[in-house]
Structure 1
């Protein structure tokens, strides 16, 4: 029987990734599958309906809430659980088996951290980066942290905001496959936008004791290095050495170099914002990101 679960997939122009994502979910895993679409101009909505998913249209006004919180507030799922899944994330059989065990069991958890494989240049990485997100939780147990943007980015979905859950949180250890097939050009464009958002977010929140008090030790370490040029090199060493990126050879080295570039961009954009006395970086034109 289907789990008492809604799977929500935020999208924009995802006709390449979405079919594989929806096929992997299947027809008997969740009571409800919904695709939250930001005005796609390709076949995304058509594909979603073909696989039996509901399509909800989202238009961002540049303020809080963004896409996931907007959905939770305006289309509150009627199921006990909600799981947010990206279109390039593929549910494995091992994950679905463990998901059933957790949600049908007697656990007292209000949410679960999910773990993901990482693919780069068409192959699964053996090391280099450990991706995990708190993307599964009980409806009403919390929502994604609030960051008021006032249009200082064009990213209409929560990027590195985490859900704030007041209660016990567990982990599903079986991994979801993260397989974005849109290539390096998309990867670089995406991280250019993300780095602008990270820089502006850091300057907005650095003196907010309530927000910083919720940071994990990893976030504290990351944000402690934000104003230094060592942020990029630290992430390179962490990716290539500590997290085993060297096991992927030249692919792993290139992946770690891109991590260095991304975090160096954040440092430089913080410096640029501070010099300008502003928390506004001009966003990349015509964002194609969800």
Structure 2
């Protein structure tokens, strides 16, 4: 298919083989853009046939994904982004073949739902994550909010989507299954909550970012009592309880994440660090 799959990485040795293997041979190119991994990420990716491009952030915009759009295999307009712990499902590859069979799509980008795994189980219910992962780089660009002084994200774009018009939606999923210990999930979200709390004290930046979120993200962005709303929405309204213990664990983890943001925001307002 006339696509380049770009996989931004840093220390993804546990996951990278599955990510690369899910797309190698099905698309025109697979490129791993690596931020100086200290494990075997690069070695594994190269052995599986992926091209590896080193990346070092200079502390300014563009950040990592936009840099990829600007610099990596620019001869191929269409890009599918996968994280190092994600794989393209067979259904997704079949849908992409169908979409590109008659030439490039009219849409500038496509949102893709994640098939999310937590606690060793694929969640069928509860909170659903949607990513704008398939892009025509000639018609898309990540926003550049004034958050370079914010903690938590570093080289990564924050929790917002690339700007594009029009945007479609794919039926199939990207499978998100992180094989690293669950503590790494909490480590990441601890950093992310630093960024989210900083945004609460910078409402102009927060509003810029709200506009670059999915419709679901924009609605939740304005919701009061976010920890409680998060749990009731995911576990009750979206029937996360049907996923058993994993559904409860994930709903509680996301509720704790929202609680962290609130606690850190209140601390910052009191003048803490």
State if a TM-score over 0.5 links the two structures: yes
Residues 86-110 of structure 1 deviation map (CA, whole Å, 9 limit, x = unaligned)? 1111112111000111122354211
Question: Is contact 2:5-2:82 (8 Å) kept?
Answer: yes
Distance 1:8 1:215, change over 3 A: closer
Q: How many residue pairs were aligned?
A: 271
Aligned partners of 2:258, 2:95: CA distance in 1, in Å?
A: 34
Report the CA distance between 1:61 and its aligned residue. 2.4
For 1:156-195, list aligned pairs within 5 A: 156-165=155-164, 167-195=165-193
Report the CA distance between 1:211 and its aligned residue. 5.0
Distance 1:24 1:76, change over 3 A: closer
Question: Is contact 1:205-1:211 (8 Å) kept?
Answer: no
Show structure 1 runs of 4+ deviating over 4 A: 207-217
Gapped runs of 5+ residues in structure 2? none
Distance 1:57 1:148, change over 3 A: farther
Residues 155-211 of structure 1 deviation map (CA, whole Å, 9 limit, x = unaligned)? 32124120001x221111111211101121111111101111122234334467655
Report the CA distance between 1:221 and its aligned residue. 3.0
Gapped runs of 5+ residues in structure 1? 282-290
Aligned partners of 1:120, 1:129: CA distance in 2, in Å?
A: 12
Q: SS of 2:178's equivalent?
A: coil
For 1:40-189, list aligned pairs within 5 A: 40-75=37-72, 77-105=74-102, 107-155=105-153, 156-165=155-164, 167-189=165-187
Whether 1:271 and 2:266 are equivalent positions in the alignment is yes
Distance 1:38 1:61, change over 3 A: same
Question: Is contact 2:160-2:210 (8 Å) kept?
Answer: no
Question: Is contact 2:211-2:218 (8 Å) kept?
Answer: no
Compute the TM-score of the two structures, normalised by the length of structure 2: 0.91
